[in-house]
Amino acid sequence: MGTSDAVVVYGATGHTGRFIVAELLRRGFTPVVSGRDAGRLEALAKEWGEVAVRPATVDDPDSLDRALAGAAAVVNCAGPFAVTGGPVVEAALRAAIPYVDVAAEIEANASMFADYAEAARKAGTSVVPAMAFYGGLGDLLVTAAMGTSTAADMVHVAYGLSGWHPTVGTRAAGQVSHQRRSGRRVRFRNGALEYHDDQLTEQEWSFPEPLGRRAVIAEFTMADVVTVPSHLAVPDVRTYMTVAAASDLARQDTPEPTAVDALGRSDQTFVVDVVVRADGVERRATARGQDIYAVTAPLAVEAVRRILAGHTRAEGVASAGAMFDAADFLRSLTPHLSVELPH
């Protein structure tokens, strides 16, 4: 088991990985950068300064063991997670250190809960999948909105993105998910994931001001359909995406994100609006911020900090809402996020 402040970032050269390395440095951790491309790792390490470089590939367990040796935790940022998730979490379990990933791939998230719960419990370590904008943030907001309740009739998570310039990793993960589903769509209905061929439909969602009423794609299903039901009794979890963002993602010529500030963030803004319905009563929680990839870094790094500090509420494999005090976690993310939670 690791006892240092060293945190391995697997996939450190990727768009989100670089944000996570920067956040670890800012928070006083010692990043260890890892991935398959030694040359790119070395080049970026020179920019970061005193950062250890440990190349590793997911088809070489010994290289992963060397990368994780002596570390306190590992954050997996390398998609597609259908390929990387298993090998990296298995290496973390061998090392008996916490594993956090930023996967938005629904099937990869579901597999993490199904395949590694018992092993993580036996190893006595924490595994938190989808600790990112998609999956983690929505789960925290839903959990905070529910307060002390553990059951609801329905959960809605609406994503109000000003636009979506996807990274190479996002597109690759999407292709893998599309192939795994044989082109079908997925949703969470009647307490289970359902695969279907229904056409997408548009409707309107009343976001808090100043966003206001916007056209959204209904059942634009994201990782919340795995994270939320993993610990809350909810028969239906529905997610929505603004039409503008969905259209950006669908176009193959939409460019990658472009930095507009010193932190490397794009000019994309977002509102995540959660509505929970139980016994005829609605409770709402909202988060606002800039750049869905950049905000994943404080989410993942705060998760690592809390796990290492022992500020957890669950053992083994657990989503963000189950593992942490959701309201306290969200409030700690200022100034990265502006949150509005029910009293």
Instruction: Give the pLDDT confidence of 175-230 residue by residue, as tens digits.
Output: 989 898 999 999 999 999 999 999 999 999 999 988 899 999 999 999 999 999 99
pLDDT digits (tens, 9 = 90+) for 231-242: 999 999 999 999
Is the full-model pTM beyond 0.85? yes
- pLDDT value at residue 280: 86
Q: Are 77 and 9 in contact (CB under 8 A)?
A: yes
Helix 106-123 and helix 168-180, axial crossing angle in degrees, nearest 10 = 90
2 falls in which pLDDT band (50, 70, 90)?
low
pLDDT above 90 (res 23): yes
- pLDDT value at residue 230: 98
- pLDDT value at residue 71: 98
3 falls in which pLDDT band (50, 70, 90)?
low
Average pLDDT of 123-152?
97
pLDDT above 70 (res 17): yes
At 189, which helix (H) or strand (E)?
strand 185-189
Q: Are 147 and 342 in contact (CB under 8 A)?
A: yes
Phi, psi at residue 100, to the nearest 5°? -130, 135
- pLDDT value at residue 155: 98
